[in-house]
Chain A
């Protein structure tokens, strides 16, 4: 009885947090056709600020903490990242009207981590005065990179298998067939050009190289900002600039980013409607399942090495989140044949609002109910 009353009370309270208010506000004004535009360069700088702050926090904390404590949570993060892709491969991909490649890409994006969702989660934990390891933010890359790498590798293995089957048919049918699948491209090419194209399409070696994918995700704007912050936090003494600049601005900037994400979510819903409806179902259910898996693994770390409940919540939140900044370009480059409307639409339009709006309060409530922490 106590469990549920804690849980429900907390959940309702979370729904009134500024983070969520701005997110929903953004969706509402976008739905009303507002002309409000936040310049893209501001979003870029906000993302940079948020992640460098998270990096700095983590770096400063790592300097004063025992590295051995971090090992188990990191392993949990890696496991969840990889698992999420396989869940998508064997659930979403089997649904009718869902292309396997699109499903794998969606899985990769949902396995990858959203910096803004994590920032929102950290803010909620601070507001609730729930203690967590400050280095928990540094778990980000350990889930993000394995998920993206797994998705790209699994998708390419699948595509290579499919291509081999096709190659046993007529030699040049590969090009023709892929052309006919995309009427958009097909009509534009005169026959002479098309002949030229099929001549050029020799046997391509499609072996997937893993290192370039890791390199690309490390170079992405979100991860490079966070790793820079982490390095500065570990190696130098950035406390003065941290206290006077990055820390106080954090919440305000987050609220602007939430507004933008709300607006973007609304503008993408239309795109999602064009692909299969199953993506909506997946992107509502998946954040909870992924989060619960991570929560379970985090609880093991909690029992064995004393990983704090706040840390468990962060692990669950980053598992529930789906990448919106660095993931999409990496996947677009790694799995070009996947339809971006499907996976970006699923993540941005549904997955992220669900993760921020419902999953964060859900997991905070769950953690508080389990540990019986008093509600402040």
Chain B
């Protein structure tokens, strides 16, 4: 009793938060999770607790559950076209099975 889904993960710069959230909403996803994050990539080590007076160094991670691969790819493509040339970012997709979630599975449950 679990509904198969795709999990799209986008790790990118914090200043893109609102813009990417808008893309996800418009693509029709029922919701998303955002966490502050940090780490090392090809550009630099970012947001590792260094003192900072502005938010330009912070990273975020979006996790979006989508019912099918098409929606996830649509979101990822739009984000990549718009931002990934100029901003740090990576997007990947995983298989997931949703166990509980009212809006995602509908009123009958998963």
| Chain B proximity of A73: nearest CB distance (Å) | 27
Query: Given contacts A178-B85, A179-B85, A337-B86, are A264 and B56 in contact (CB under 8 A)?
Result: no
Contact of A43 among B13, B51, B86, B90 (CB under 8 A): B51
Chain B positions within 8 Å of A336 at CB level:
83, 85-87
The answer to whether A43 and B85 have CB atoms under 8 Å apart is no
| Measured CA separation A340–B49 after assembly (Å) | 19
Chain A positions within 8 Å of B22 at CB level:
none
| Measured CA separation A91–B43 after assembly (Å) | 28
A281 within 8 A of B: no
The answer to whether B42 and A184 have CB atoms under 8 Å apart is yes
The answer to whether A264 and B51 have CB atoms under 8 Å apart is yes
The size bracket of the interface on A is 35 or more
Query: Given contacts A197-B80, A201-B81, A332-B15, are A184 and B43 in contact (CB under 8 A)?
Result: yes
A95 within 8 A of B: no
| Measured CA separation A263–B83 after assembly (Å) | 30
Chain A positions within 8 Å of B51 at CB level:
37-38, 40, 43, 260, 263-264, 267
Beta-carbon contacts under 8 Å, B31-90 to A: 42-44, 49-56, 77, 80-81, 83-87, 90
Beta-carbon contacts under 8 Å, A35-93 to B: 37-38, 40, 43, 47
Chain A positions within 8 Å of B85 at CB level:
178-179, 182, 185, 336-337
Beta-carbon contacts under 8 Å, A199-215 to B: 200-201
A333 within 8 A of B: yes
A15 within 8 A of B: no
| Measured CA separation A31–B109 after assembly (Å) | 57
The answer to whether B77 and A328 have CB atoms under 8 Å apart is no
A14 within 8 A of B: no
Chain A positions within 8 Å of B83 at CB level:
336
Pull 7 A–B residue pairs with CB atoms less than 8 Å apart, ordered by A: A38-B51, A197-B80, A200-B77, A260-B51, A324-B53, A337-B86, A340-B56
Binding site for A on B (CB under 8 A): 13, 15, 42-44, 49-56, 77, 80-81, 83-87, 90
Q: A271-B44, A336-B85 are in contact. List 6 more A-B contacts (CB 8 A).
A: A40-B51, A40-B52, A182-B85, A201-B81, A336-B83, A341-B44
